[in-house]
Chain A
Amino acid sequence: GAVVSQHPSWVICKSGTSVKIECRSLDFQATTMFWYRQFPKQSLMLMATSNEGSKATYEQGVEKDKFLINHASLTLSTLTVTSAHPEDSSFYICSARVRWSTSGELFFGEGSRLTVL
């Protein structure tokens, strides 16, 4: 099956530092990847849609200068939380669609838990 790998699975950082989270599709090419944020006992909140070779599309209310997304290849998208603050602490999850797929299936990474001290 389609596997999406996310790294790191958890990270603790000091306030003001930047953190990069990687999302890789291991056995398929993904034209489109999605980044979500999830708060405890809540559903997924879409942050942005990342398309290979083009700028990400951010959802309303998500600061693009704060959450930098790069989708440089068909198997890798990165989310960088810049100048992180405690309120950025959350569970970040990526997902990917199989390139040229008409099935509509979406596969998720394992998630990355960010704690900003």
Chain B
Amino acid sequence: QKEVEQDPGPLSVPEGAIVSLNCTYSNSAFQYFMWYRQYSRKGPELLMYTYSSGNKEDGRFTAQVDKSSKYISLFIRDSQPSDSATYLCAMSTTGNQFYFGTGTSLTVIP
């Protein structure tokens, strides 16, 4: 079983839709959770960072961590064509070793 599971998609939504991206994990010791956005031929860009459980909101983005279910989510409200990218989840126990999902490819159609 992989440490982190992420549906690769692809996911295609109309502009303005709410997007839900998810990852599940098996290691209950993970305490640092991150979402990255990666445009084609670019390095990943840190979007959201959460420590332990709970929600975090930043503009149109909301990150949720449910440690009891070992499940994290990223919600994008009022999606825009510029949100079209691959979204990677990442997790760590101590911040010394990181585990990544395979990435979900998102296309927002104008």
Contacts and interface: CB of A to CB of B under 8 A. Distances in A.
B43 A102 contact: no
B49 A103 contact: yes
A106 B34 contact: yes
Contacts of B46: 105-108
Interface string A41-69: 11110100100000000000000000000
Contacts of A32: 96
Contacts of A42: 102
Contacts, number: 58
Nearest to B91: A104
Interface string A106-117: 111111010000
Contact of A111 (B31, B41, B96): B41
Interface extent on B, as a size class? 20 to 34
Contact of A43 (B51, B92, B94, B102): B102
Contacts of B100: 43-44
B63 interface: no
Interface in B46-75: 46, 49, 51
Interface of A: 4, 6, 32, 34, 41-44, 46, 49, 91, 93, 95, 97, 101-111, 113
Interface of B: 31-32, 34, 36, 41-46, 49, 51, 88, 90, 92, 94-98, 100-103, 105
